[in-house]
A and B are shown apart, each in its own frame.
Chain A
Amino acid sequence: EAGVAQSPRYKIIEKRQSVAFWCNPISGHATLYWYQQILGQGPKLLIQFQNNGVVDDSQLPKDRFSAERLKGVDSTLKIQPAKLEDSAVYLCASSFRGGARLNTEAFFGQGTRLTVV
């Protein structure tokens, strides 16, 4: 079974530039998450999709971050314009949304390491 695919693995941009990250979840997984992991901290949820609808984006800085999952499969996370404090690893995760969803495992991709200079 293929895992969660993310690209690119690394990205270096200057502040005020824009950047986009791509994620392809495990086939059949209806739920997709984007997390931000700043160095030395645990991942923080940015946004959760159920199919192509947003379930939770309460921690997404909407003035500069946006995300979409138009066809309910792969997803794109965008930052525009980037700030120095956006330097982090951006992790995508997916899970199969069954009836007992709260104990369902989330599978993580390898992440995209963003450096803003």
Chain B
Amino acid sequence: AQSVTQLGSHVSVSEGALVLLRCNYSSSVPPYLFWYVQYPNQGLQLLLKYTSAATLVKGINGFEAEFKKSETSFHLTKPSAHMSDAAEYFCAVRSSGGGADGLTFGKGTHLIIQP
């Protein structure tokens, strides 16, 4: 079974500071990994995805993530936080088998931006 662990339910950074949201995965096969963002009372929006083409993945809104197989990690970063980045962030891994390919999500990290 595949799983995702997000370290830190809440992360607080100052505006302009580096954002680092941690995600570790467990998978018996090469994983397909995703980061989604959820704003209040909204659905989930894809930030970026890892599909084995490149270990450093660039996404929308200046976010990027690096896949490290040796560490089973897929941490999300952004060099300079903006107030509009305040939201809930979810790391997810895609399962596979028999046509089933639903996402398994972590518990989420709430990003707080301090002015």
Query: Which residues of A pack against B, CB within 8 Å?
Result: 4, 31, 33, 40-45, 48, 50, 55-56, 58, 91, 93, 100-103, 105-111, 113
The residue that B94 contacts in the complex, of A4, A43, A93, A102, with Cβ under 8 A, is: A102
Looking at chain B's contact residues, is the secondary structure mostly helix, strand, loop, or mixed?
Answer: loop
Bound state CA distance, A105 and B100, in angstroms? 14
Within 8 Å CB of B9, what residues of A? 40
A-contact bits for B96-115, CB 8 A (1 contact / 0 none): 10111111111110000000
**Cβ–Cβ contact A102 & B101, under 8 A:** yes
Cβ–Cβ < 8 Å partners of A50 in chain B: 99
In the complex, chain B residues whose CB is within 8 Å of the CB of A101: 101
Of B43, B101, B104, which is within 8 A of A91 by CB? B43
CB distance from B102 to the nearest CB of A (A): 4
Which residue on chain A has the smallest CB distance to residue B36? A108
Do residues A45 and B104 form an inter-chain contact, with CB atoms below 8 A?
yes
Binding site for A on B (CB under 8 A): 4, 9, 32, 36, 41-46, 49, 51, 90, 92, 94, 96, 98-108
With A42-B90, A105-B46 known as contacts, the answer to whether A48 contacts B100 (CB < 8 A) is: yes
Contacts of A100 in B (CB 8 A): 51
How far does the Cβ of A97 sit from chain B's closest Cβ, in whole Å?
9
Known: A42-B107, A45-B104, A58-B100. 9 other contacts (CB 8 A): A31-B101, A42-B105, A45-B102, A93-B43, A101-B101, A102-B94, A108-B43, A110-B42, A113-B41
Q: Show 27 residue pairs from A and B whose CB-CB distance is below 8 angstroms, ordered by the A residue.
A: A33-B103, A40-B9, A42-B4, A42-B105, A42-B106, A43-B90, A43-B103, A45-B102, A45-B103, A48-B100, A48-B101, A48-B102, A55-B98, A55-B99, A56-B99, A58-B100, A91-B43, A93-B43, A102-B51, A102-B96, A103-B32, A103-B94, A106-B46, A107-B46, A108-B36, A110-B43, A113-B41
